């Protein structure tokens, strides 16, 4: 039987997930990586990573993933890294409710479904690690990102509650809250706003034009943006430390935002946030 520790890594086609899958494989983990498109499997499989098609909005694909992984591991799973997500930009008043609902299906409900399937396996083992890649926007909101902010705020609340409820089970739960990380996130956000927001018929039309330039890379990028290895550094700690932290905040802008939220009166803090973006 394969004695390597096993982990499911979601959203592994690029960015944080792809880097984590390869780094974990290099460090001796048996990695089960998920992607949404069949063409994204080959690059991972060429590196010896076992890949599966899984979409958080497709419940049968979540169930099929768990069944296939457990069949390969004889019913054992050491860790789950929920990572796959996307950001839907747009002013709150411009978000069609179905678009907001889809944001939650991908970033929240699908994560819950997958995690619920994993917990009984870990309970039976008496141990396990669950790491959810949230965002600094789950702690400090940002204009024009209401759908994404809301999904991550919900994830924070659900995960911290689960963390407390699993105390004593041997299952450790952690949240990673990255700030700006180099990835395909901006490109995917551009597609989402162009597909789902009526830019020509909104009071925010001028602001959307500016935001679209930023998403296309025509304006200066976010300061303090790091590579995915910064997230992997704290993921490794969450997976292997005898005492993993509940929260891992990544990048200087993210740490600065949390500090200001803690120190400043809320009115002043929100005024400062409102001047950004």
Residues with a catalytic annotation lie at 148
Q: Please state whether beta strands 6-9 and 79-82 pair in parallel, antiparallel, or not at all (unpaired).
A: parallel
* Helices of type H across the chain: 15-26, 41-45, 59-73, 97-104, 110-125, 146-165, 185-196, 205-215, 229-240, 252-263, 266-274
CA distance 145 to 135: 12
**Integer Cα distance of 88 and 152 in angstroms:** 12
Can you tell me the distance from the alpha carbon of 277 to that of 264, in angstroms, rounded to the nearest whole number?
20
Strand partners, 82: 132
Burial code (b: 16+ CB inside 10 Å, e: under 16) for 188-213 equals bbbebbeebbebeeeebeeebeebbe
**Sheet hosting strand 128-133, strand order edge to edge:** 50-53, 30-35, 6-9, 79-82, 128-133, 171-178, 247-250
């Amino acid at each position: 039987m394969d004695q390597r520790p096993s982990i499911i890594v979601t959203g592994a086609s690029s960015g944080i997930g792809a880097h984590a899958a390869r780094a974990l494989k290099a460090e001796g983990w048996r990695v089960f990586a998920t992607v949404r498109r069949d063409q994204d499997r080959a690059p991972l499989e060429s590196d010896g990573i076992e890949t599966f098609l899984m979409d958080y909005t497709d419940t049968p694909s979540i169930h099929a993933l768990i069944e296939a992984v457990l069949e390969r591991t004889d019913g054992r799973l050491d860790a789950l890294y929920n990572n796959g997500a996307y950001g839907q930009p747009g002013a709150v008043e411009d978000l069609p409710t179905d678009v907001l609902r889809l944001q939650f299906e991908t970033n929240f409900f699908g994560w819950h479904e997958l995690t619920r399937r994993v917990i009984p396996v870990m309970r039976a083992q008496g141990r396990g690690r669950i790491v959810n890649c949230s965002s600094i926007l789950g702690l400090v909101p940002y204009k024009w990102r209401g759908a994404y902010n809301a999904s991550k705020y919900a994830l924070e609340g659900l995960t911290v509650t689960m963390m407390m409820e699993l105390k004593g089970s041997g299952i450790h739960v952690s949240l990673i809250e990255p700030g700006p990380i180099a990835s395909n996130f901006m490109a995917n956000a551009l597609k989402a706003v162009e597909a789902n927001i009526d830019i020509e018929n909104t009071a925010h039309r001028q602001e959307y034009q500016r935001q679209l330039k930023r998403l296309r890379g025509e304006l200066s990028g976010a300061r303090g943006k790091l590579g995915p290895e910064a997230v992997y550094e704290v993921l490794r700690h969450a997976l292997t430390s005898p005492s993993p932290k509940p929260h891992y905040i990544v990048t200087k802008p993210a740490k600065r935002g949390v500090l200001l939220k803690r120190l400043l009166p809320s009115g002043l803090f929100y005024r400062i946030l409102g001047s950004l973006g």
